[in-house]
Structure 1
Amino acid sequence: MIPELSGIDHVHIYVSDRSAAHHWYQQVLGFRVMEQYLLWAADGGPLMLEDPAGRVHLALFESDKGPPSTIAFGASGVEFLRWKAHLEECGEGVSVSDHDLSWSLYFSDPDGNRHEITTYDYDAVKEHLR
């Protein structure tokens, strides 16, 4: 049998300016530094960030050689609509895609890493977007 996974531990994000990226992730997505792992950020290691609930972890690596990353976050229909409004208020270029079974918001960080917020509360969101 294949062993079980407990979820995604963290995602590596490659950025050209870690300080600027940290600011963007803090201001736009509400991520904060995980103080207990701050020592890893020395000597090219990752700056570990987490969302306000502590469920999503990102590792920011400063490098202009890394490939752009894509992260898809999940949200309820209500939260999806709140994210759409929030991202637009932040001046982020957001595109909305109807995938027939789900909805997705797409946007990018300043380094071109793509982000997606997806909801499977299709009908609830459809009522508000159409």
Structure 2
Amino acid sequence: MNSRIVMRWDHIELLVPDRAAALAWYREWFDFVPIPQPDEWAKNGPIMVSPDGGDTKLALFTGEPQAAAEERGWRRVAFRVTAGEFAAFARRYRASGQTLQGPVDHQTAWSVYLSDPWGNALEVTTYDYAAGALTVSELS
């Protein structure tokens, strides 16, 4: 009998100074939208947002962003996308004039790196390595 618990990512909590501004930013760049949550959370709780109906969530709490702290509880949030989505995101983000680092070749995946306006480190990755290589040639 296997006694292991199957774990899945439920949510990642981010501290931001303005939940509404963070919602707008994550909606624009990652298609995150608010999902239903208890009324009790409206004032001081998080705004729960998701790009996939609630399977993958960010919890946007009001607070001092971890990027301002000397030590952080986590290093980066990485989002997995297809090669086509990777290319579309990188093109659109760069065209907006914002800073995007990469693409970086990880030998099995391609990644680009960015920060949200509050300094939270983010990564967009595709494991579609061959198609990603074609995308990278377009982005370089």
TM-score, normalised relative to structure 1 = 0.85
CA contact (8 A) 1:37 1:48 kept: no
Unaligned runs of 5+ in 1: none
Distance 1:31 1:89 in 2: 20
Q: Which runs of 4+ in 1 moved over 6 A?
A: none
Counting only pairs closer than 5 Å after superposition, residues 1-130 of structure 1 correspond to structure 2 as 1-5=3-7, 7-37=8-38, 39-42=40-43, 44-51=44-51, 53-54=52-53, 55-64=55-64, 66-68=65-67, 70-96=76-102, 97-130=104-137
What are the Cα deviations for residues 3-48 of structure 1, in whole angstroms up to 9, with x where unaligned?
A: 112x211110111222211121122222111133454132x21111
Contact 2:83–2:128 under 8 Å retained in 1: yes
CA contact (8 A) 1:10 1:59 kept: yes
Q: What is the percentage of aligned positions where both structures have the same residue?
A: 34
1:28/1:90 contact within 8 Å kept: no
Structure 2 counterpart of 1:13, which letter? Answer: L
Question: Is the CA contact (8 Å cut-off) linking 2:46 and 2:60 kept in structure 1?
Answer: yes
**Partners in 2 of 1:67 and 1:112 — Cα distance?**
8
Q: CA RMSD in A?
A: 1.8
| Number of aligned residue pairs | 126
How far apart are the structure 2 equivalents of 1:79 and 1:123?
14
Structure 2 spans left out of the alignment, 5+ residues: 68-73
Deviation at 1:105, TM superposition (A): 1.2
Distance in 1, Cα, partners of 2:121 & 2:94 = 16
CA contact (8 A) 2:15 2:66 kept: yes
Compared CA separation, residues 82 and 67, structure 1 to 2 (3 A): same
CA displacement at 1:67 relative to structure 2: 2.2
